[in-house]
Structure 1
């Protein structure tokens, strides 16, 4: 590795170590429902989304509701990704004029990215438009991981409450 590569690695590692504790504390406070310094920014958005989706923020969900919400969210994400892939020839940011992805490949890719396996049986540069890669696939790199974290937190919360 070059000196520049080592410097970048070292810089990344130092920033990670510096941010590790404050981000951990912030995440723990969020997961426990405590007040954070970002509440004035995010609480209004959160309340708007709660109202929009009919969620009662003062009521806790049981495991069935968590499961249903997670499955519904994942299913909607899967269907949207599938449709984006199938209809990419009608969507913007397709300068190569790629046609829609075949049904089997679109389903395989949508299921793979929704479940956070990100398995690819195609070459993205010659199969997927920029929009499809960005709006159909890249956002799953964050959302599918967020779903996994949410499930883990719900599981830990449930186990901790049963033992308390």
Structure 2
């Protein structure tokens, strides 16, 4: 490896170390529901989403209900993405007139985007319509990453609250992460 390569690695590691404290503190405040500099803008939006979805930020879940919510949420995301691909021929925002994605490829793509592995066995612009790319793939890129962060936060809470009966609220964690 060249000296430039080693310098890039050192600079990258240095930046990561410098960001640990401020970013970690910010994330702790966000997931604890404490006030941050974005709270005046995002807190009313959050409360509105909680009201619409029928949950409360004060409502905690046992790990089994947290896991069930996570699994059902990901199943719904998988099904939406799968059917968007299968029905894209008849959906709007398809100026190239692309036909439905073959079932196996649609399944594989939906599963890979739901699990945040994003394995792509196709040419995006020659296989997926604009709607599938926007409402399916891009949305899953955000939600699958947010799911991973929610799992990490729940795991940390589980260790911190070893004798507790709850690990937070999946819907609140997803909202705050997204």
Q: Report the TM-score, using the length of structure 1 for normalisation.
A: 0.82
Deviation at residue 61 of structure 1 after TM alignment: 1.1
CA distance in 1, matches of 2:92, 2:23: 37
Deviation at residue 19 of structure 1 after TM alignment: 6.2
More divergent stretch after superposition (58-67 vs 149-158): 58-67
TM alignment of 1:83-94, pairs within 5 A: 83-94=83-94
- Structure 2 SS opposite 1:95: coil
Q: Does 1 or 2 have the higher relative contact order (CA < 8 Å, sep 6+)?
A: 2
> Do structure 1's residue 72 and structure 2's residue 72 form an aligned pair?
yes
Deviation at residue 33 of structure 1 after TM alignment: 2.4
Number of the residue aligned with 1:153: 153
Per-residue displacement from partner, 1:93-134 (whole Å, max 9, x unpaired)? 222110011222111111110011111222222211122122
CA distance in 2, matches of 1:66, 1:78: 18
Number of the residue aligned with 1:102: 102
Number of the residue aligned with 2:172: none
Number of the residue aligned with 1:123: 123
Deviation at residue 69 of structure 1 after TM alignment: 1.1
CA distance in 1, matches of 2:37, 2:65: 29
CA distance in 2, matches of 1:40, 1:46: 11
Q: 5+ unaligned residues in a row in structure 2: which ranges?
A: 1-7, 165-178
More divergent stretch after superposition (125-134 vs 105-114): 125-134
Q: 5+ unaligned residues in a row in structure 1: which ranges?
A: 1-8
Q: Report the TM-score, using the length of structure 2 for normalisation.
A: 0.76
Q: How many residues align?
A: 155
Deviation at residue 45 of structure 1 after TM alignment: 1.5
CA-based RMSD of the aligned residues comes to 2.5
> Do structure 1's residue 56 and structure 2's residue 62 form an aligned pair?
no
Deviation at residue 26 of structure 1 after TM alignment: 1.5
CA distance in 1, matches of 2:154, 2:130: 35
- Structure 1 SS opposite 2:61: coil
TM alignment of 1:127-138, pairs within 5 A: 127-138=127-138
